[in-house]
Amino acid sequence: MSKKSTRAVLTALLPLAVFLGACNHSGPPQNTTPVTNNPAPPTTAAPQGPVAPVREGYIYLPSADGSGDGSELVAHKVTFDKPDDPARESLNALVAAKDTPLPAGSELRGVKIEDGLATVNFSAELKSNFHGSDTQEAQAVNSILKTLGQFPTISKVQILVDGSPVDSLGGHFEISDPLDVIRTTADAKQARVYHKAQPN
């Protein structure tokens, strides 16, 4: 074949080569990795650790300087030997305190807390050994109500003596029904008189 003939053939085939090349590139690209949107892994809340036990709290004792009207109760910090039962521990500390307003010989027999009601059972001495005035009776009752009032889960207190309700300790204040706790703050230490008993 002459050079002229060869050139003519190449010139004729050139458009075909261009067309085939364009068709070849119009298809999907080869050997490409598809991009996927991987969802972020779900986040989970950090596991809750065990509730830290209460290792210290307060009991409420008569003011050492005798200020006010004599019924004032002042907070005293105490530490607990058994921090898993702070209500019982605080009442045991109140009973054992040197200046406790509770009658001598009183013992705590049990504490049960259910639906905001703390049922506290004392020995017979809580009543039989009480021989004080109305102010001293207010101190005794209110020391229990203020000491338990530091716990948010307790809203009322039922005081029992040897497992049964009593009308009063010394005839001055009615305690047969559940009593509201006394909530306190750092600047509110004054105990209030609670439920004057009706004379027989």
Per the confidence metrics, is the pTM higher than 0.75?
no
What does the pLDDT read at residue 8? 53
Please, are residues 120 and 110 in contact by the beta-carbon 8 Å criterion? Answer: yes
118-157: per-residue pLDDT in tens?
999 999 999 999 999 999 999 999 999 999 999 999 999 9
The proportion of the chain whose per-residue pLDDT surpasses 70, expressed as a percent, equals 62
pLDDT-based confidence at 193, cuts 50/70/90? very low
pLDDT exceeds 50 at position 200 = no
Pairwise CA distance, residues 25 & 8, whole Å? 27
| Residues whose CB falls within 8 Å of the CB of residue 176, separated by 6 or more in sequence, listed in order | 165, 166, 167, 168
Residue 109: CB atoms within 10 Å: 15
4-21: per-residue pLDDT in tens?
555 554 555 555 554 555
29-39: per-residue pLDDT in tens?
455 444 445 55
Pairwise CA distance, residues 131 & 137, whole Å? 9
What does the pLDDT read at residue 6? 52
| Residues whose CB falls within 8 Å of the CB of residue 122, separated by 6 or more in sequence, listed in order | 102, 106, 107, 108, 109, 159, 160, 161, 162
Compute the average pLDDT of residues 160-174. 96
What does the pLDDT read at residue 195? 38
What does the pLDDT read at residue 17? 52
